Amino acid sequence: MYKVSDNQKIDLVKELRKQGRLDVWVRLGAKEKIKCRLIAVPLPEQIVNQRRRKAKENRNSKANHSKKYFELLGYGVYITNVEEGSWSPKEVMKAYRCRWYIEILFKGWKSHLKLTISLPERYMNKQRIELFFYMAFLMLTLVVMPLFTELQKRVKNKHRTVSILKLCSFVRSNMEAFISGKKCSHILKIAEYYCLYDHRKKRINAIEQIFFYHP
């Protein structure tokens, strides 16, 4: 990592010790140095402790982490090419956290709704596959995501978050109830019981970071 002005090498840990946080333009790369914006901000103690605990558990003779490495685990470091006038550091961090949320969404849709095994191979053709995916996306749009949004509204004041993975499994197991048009309040009450993340004081999950962590 190098300064944009004179291509002098930057010691990230040293700079963070002096300034506490960074939002600077740098050049990255050994041969072709690419100009980009680097943001580094201190993380909450809960997340830092979790990161360092995992690093110690995974440490071995081939990956004996240095003191500087453990120090860097206390910061969130982000790389972007978005100008300061477009996104503040907080907005960059929020966008990165949403990326993990998107990955959780796809995992829920694929694995917990079991979309990959719902269409027998012997019945596959172009028209049926297209119809299947349109129906699947309708279910996601009209059932799963509205249910997630409504559930999250109900539990946010309790400082709880909805697990999209548990919710997808719940929808899959109770599709008949959704189709039959049972009372929405009854379904929400059951979903609220089964589809929330376990509350852990010392650990913050990805969805809690999106809803409750504001650096």
Question: Mean pLDDT over residues 166-174, rounded?
Answer: 86
| pLDDT above 80 for 115 | no
Give the pLDDT of residue 172.
Answer: 83
The alpha carbons of the chain give a radius of gyration, in whole angstroms, of: 22
pLDDT tens by residue, 40-73 = 999 988 889 988 888 888 776 566 788 898 999 9
Say which residue, 130 or 210, is predicted with more confidence. Answer: 130
- Round to whole Å and give the CA distance between 30 and 109: 40
Question: Mean pLDDT over residues 70-94, rounded?
Answer: 91
Q: Is the pTM here over 0.85, yes or no?
A: no
Question: Mean pLDDT over residues 74-80, rounded?
Answer: 92
**Four-point Cα dihedral 139, 142, 143, 148, nearest 10:** 130
Q: What are the structure tokens assigned to 195, written together? A: 């589809």
CB 114, CB 172: distance < 8 Å: yes
